[in-house]
Amino acid sequence: MTTAAIVLLGLFALLMLLGTPLGVALGLAGAAVILMQDLGEMAIPTSLYTGIAKYPLLAIPLFILAGTIFERAGVAARLVRFVSILIGSWRGSLGVVAVLVAMVMGGISGSGPADAAAVATVMLPAMTRAGYPPAFSASIIAAAGATAILIPPSVAFIIYSVLVPQATVPALFAAGLFPGILAGLALILPIVFIARRYGFGGRREDEEKIGVLRAAREAIWGLLAPVIILGGMRAGLFTPTEAAVAAVTYGLLVGLFIHRSLTLRDLGNVFMEAAEMSAVVLLIIGLASIFAWAGSTLGAFDVLAQSIVSLEAPPWMVLILINLLLMGAGMFLDAVSIYLILLPLLMPLVTAYQWDPVWFGVVMTMNLAVGQFTPPLAVNLMVTCAVAGVPIEKTVRWVIWLVLAMLSALVLVAIFPSIALWLPRSLGY
């Protein structure tokens, strides 16, 4: 590896150790090496601009806005009521409801933390009244919210497709559906077992008694959202980016005119919240593009990949090592950051071992989904613990079983790629 490449990676590591924000560390390391190697100072703003001036990235702020609108419109509360009536009242039933509602909401927002926040706000009070310890409830909702980055539309898959052009957004969305459902179903087993083992939940006499038809009528607008978004893409009515516009429009119609839970005055706060979240994501992507351009120009990532391939380890061993790396990174960094840092290194390995980039994207994203609720720095768990008012360390005894459950789903997808690839191939993607 060249001296410049060593400086690039070493400077980035040093800045991270000093506590520099991720985007700043990536941008500074890349800019410093560009200037050192006299690659042209205009490469810095050009890389920053080209990093975010990509059509698929338009969907990110729009899906974030759609998720915020649906959260404020009370869609989650109506879904909880409907699913609760269908599931019934028995030990562990509210945990199952939380998982199912999070999966449906994930089909609207595409963001794990946003999904977890929306479901936690509605579910935590009811679960506490039913006898669930707040730490257990926070663990369930954090894990269930992680399915949002697998079940389409997924913001994580959109970013992956920008960094890996061989994997299109429609193919990734289709590939993530069954693994996302599998991950959600895997969570239900330990939830029900723990609830019955410790006697959590049961009949809820304090719940309002309404009929199934009324509950379905109230929840139908939320249930239709994923159908409209995904069905419209499949029917060719709109692209994934246009689907995000359709989701925002649909959410505004539901919130303003059907549920009437949103007012024009509320929209200012909704737009501001979505804009802040979107700006953070896109700024990190832009700064990371400077780092990625410098690394690719210097050949740093290809050299690292070739050194791993030269070890002549069997592909399954390399895949295990990659998964362990991703799991470790997922415990400390968010999904977007891990994509931006590790994909330049990992994609040469994917090419060398002739792995399907769509399948690899699903496996990688499942790892990052597990990381969203694995302490110590699990972003979903931080959100739900804040809502529940419990320290994150109290969740460890509960969340470890949910981590193992989702890892079992990950192992199945890694061993049997057809779980992810059957649907996109059947649809011709």
Torsion 261-266-267-272 (CA) sign: negative
Instruction: Give the confidence band of 309 by pLDDT, cuts at 50, 70, 90.
Output: low
Give the range of the structural domain holding residue 173, as residue numbers without chain letter.
56-285+301-426
* DSSP three-state, residue 201: strand
- Average pLDDT rounded to a whole number, residues 49-53: 83
91, β-bridge pairs: 201
| Chain segment 387-427, per-residue pLDDT in tens | 888 988 899 899 999 999 999 999 999 999 999 999 999 98
Residues 6+ apart with CB under 8 A from 134: 124, 128, 388, 389, 390
Torsion 311-317-323-329 (CA) sign: negative
Mean pLDDT of the chain: 85
201, β-bridge pairs: 91
- Position 192 scores a pLDDT of 94
Among 116-120, 199-203, 348-352, name the most confident range.
348-352
Residue 330 lies in a domain: yes
| Chain segment 222-281, per-residue pLDDT in tens | 888 888 887 887 777 887 778 888 888 988 999 898 888 888 888 888 899 888 878 877
- Position 395 scores a pLDDT of 92
Is the pLDDT assigned to residue 358 strictly greater than 90?
A: yes
| Chain segment 149-199, per-residue pLDDT in tens | 999 888 889 889 988 989 998 999 999 999 999 999 999 999 999 999 998
Residue 394 lies in a domain: yes
Is the pLDDT assigned to residue 115 strictly greater than 90?
A: no
Half-sphere exposure at residue 169, Cβ-oriented, CA atoms within 13 angstroms: 26
Tokens linked to 422: 């059957």
Residue 127 lies in a domain: yes
Whether residue 190 contacts residue 96, with contact meaning beta carbons closer than 8 Å, is answered with no
Whether residue 326 contacts residue 367, with contact meaning beta carbons closer than 8 Å, is answered with yes
AA letter at 57: L
Is the pLDDT assigned to residue 101 strictly greater than 50?
A: yes
- Average pLDDT rounded to a whole number, residues 369-379: 81
Q: How many domains does the chain have?
A: 1
How many whole angstroms separate alpha carbon 412 and alpha carbon 116?
25
Residues 6+ apart with CB under 8 A from 19: none
Instruction: Give the confidence band of 206 by pLDDT, cuts at 50, 70, 90.
Output: very low
- Position 144 scores a pLDDT of 94
Residues 6+ apart with CB under 8 A from 332: 376, 377
State the distance between the two ends of the chain, measured CA to CA, in whole angstroms: 38
Tell me 235's DSSP state. Answer: T
- Average pLDDT rounded to a whole number, residues 109-114: 75
Residue 10 lies in a domain: no
AA letter at 360: F
Question: Is 294 buried (19+), middle (13-18) or exposed (0-12) by CB count in 10 A?
Answer: buried
- The continuous run of DSSP H or E covering 295 comes out as helix 264-298
Whether residue 282 contacts residue 52, with contact meaning beta carbons closer than 8 Å, is answered with yes
Is the pLDDT assigned to residue 6 strictly greater than 90?
A: no
Residue 1 lies in a domain: no
**Other C-beta atoms lying within 10 Å of the C-beta of residue 113:** 23
- Average pLDDT rounded to a whole number, residues 10-22: 83
Residue 231 lies in a domain: yes
- Position 178 scores a pLDDT of 96
213, β-bridge pairs: none
Residue 31 lies in a domain: no
How many whole angstroms separate alpha carbon 267 and alpha carbon 269?
5
Q: Which residue has the higher pLDDT, 140 or 311?
A: 140
AA letter at 288: A
The pTM for the full model equals 0.81
Residue 151 lies in a domain: yes
Is the pLDDT assigned to residue 43 strictly greater than 70?
A: yes
Tell me 391's DSSP state. Answer: -
